[in-house]
Amino acid sequence: MEVSANNEGKMCVVSVLEARIDAAVALAFKDAMRQSTDGGEADVVLDLGQVTFIDSSGLGAIVATMKFLAPDRKLILAGLTPAVDKVFKLTRMDTVFSVFNTLEQALAKQSS
Amino acid sequence: MITFEVCVDSGELAVREALGLVLANLETLSLDVEELATVELVLAEALNNVVEHAYPVTKPGNSIKIHCSQKVTGLHFAITDQGYSMPNGQTPLGLPQNVEVDPFDMPEGGFGWFLIKDLAKDVTYRRVENTNQLALRIAVAIH
């Protein structure tokens, strides 16, 4: 599962570089998120701008990542494409996470 | 009105393969992106269940068949496999998960059947001899 992690100001930005977070890669996604955020202290912005499909397994992997970072670090979501946004809204997970339309908006909000 | 059937062998990438084949067959209908997203999500959840629970061990001959027929009420899908039966011979209820809980209690699973039952209509499951038959309707491509 390809992700890239960068520090942007006080935040750690992890971008998913694949189009799908589904059952086939849910475990690999969890591992990649753990590895790319382990040992840091910054809140994490998960950039989903390139993800066009997520299923309930992918959603569960994002929830697992949120738990891994809690309680000291927040997981913030950015760049949800329409199909991904739909899954978050239907399951009401959009009420659990801070969700931003774009990565820029997420970073601007966090630095203000 | 279109009708088609696709068949894949169960396994880690079976769901992606099946979804690719189904969506290719649906191209002729020119569904909008939201309708396609609904079809893809419902079928992904139903097929994930087959791969994970009906065929927990990947073996040759573990096939999954998806039949689709377009009718005036939408796209009617029938998914069949010869794996393990659903527990108690019925589908889970698929109730919404409570997400107003502490982060550490947040559910990481149990969303699949909720999504299927929320987005699809007329969801029925039957076990006939050694075959699981899941039928459902998605109200798109209605003429």
Q: Is residue A55 part of a domain?
A: yes
Q: Is B98 exposed, middle or buried (0-12, 13-18, 19+ CB in 10 A)?
A: exposed
Domain that holds residue B56: 3-138
The nearest alpha carbon in chain B to A87 belongs to: B115
- What type of residue sits at position B69? S
Instruction: Give me the pLDDT at residue A58, please.
Output: 98
Name the strand (E) or helix (H) holding B128: strand B121-128
Q: What is the pLDDT of residue B39?
A: 98
* CATH number of domain containing A11: 3.30.750.24
Please tell me the total count of domains within chain A: 1
Sort out which chain A residues have CB atoms less than 8 A from B96's CB and list them.
91-92
Q: Which residues contact B5 (CB under 8 A, 6 or more apart)?
A: B65, B66, B67, B68
Local confidence band at B73 (pLDDT 50, 70, 90 cut-offs): very high
pLDDT above 70 as % of chain B:
99
Q: What percent of chain A has pLDDT over 90?
A: 94
Query: B74-110 pLDDT, tens per residue?
Result: 999 999 999 999 998 999 999 999 999 988 889 999 9
Asked if the structure places residue A9 within a domain, the reply is yes
B37 lies in a domain? Answer: yes
Question: What is the C-alpha to C-alpha distance for residues B71 and A46, in angstroms, rounded to an integer?
Answer: 41
Q: Domain containing B91 — which CATH number?
A: 3.30.565.10
What is the per-residue pLDDT for A110?
Answer: 76
A112: in domain: no
State the SS3 of chain A: CCEEEEEECCEEEEEECCCEECCCCHHHHHHHHHHHHCCCCCCEEEECCCCCEECHHHHHHHHHHHHHHCCCCCEEEECCCHHHHHHHHHCCHHHCCEEECCHHHHHHHHHC
Given pLDDT bands bounded at 50, 70 and 90, which one contains residue B58?
Answer: confident
A42 — pLDDT class (breaks 50, 70, 90)? very high
Residue A110 lies in a domain: no
Q: Answer whether A72 touches B (CB < 8 Å).
A: no
Indicate the residue of A59, A82, A91 with minimum beta-carbon distance to B37. Answer: A82
Report yes or no: B5 and B66 within 8 Å, Cβ to Cβ. yes
- Is A6 or B143 the better-scoring residue by pLDDT? A6
Contact B99 A95 (CB under 8 A): yes
Which of A76, A81, A57, A56 has the alpha carbon at shortest distance from A66?
A76
The mean pLDDT value for A24-51 works out to 96
Residue A70 lies in a domain: yes
The one-letter code for the residue type at B119 is L
In A, minimum Cα distance to B49 occurs at A23
Residue B143 maps to a domain: no
- Tell me the pLDDT band of A112, cut-offs 50, 70 and 90: low
CB contact under 8 A, A67 and B103: yes
- State yes or no: pLDDT of A63 exceeds 90: yes
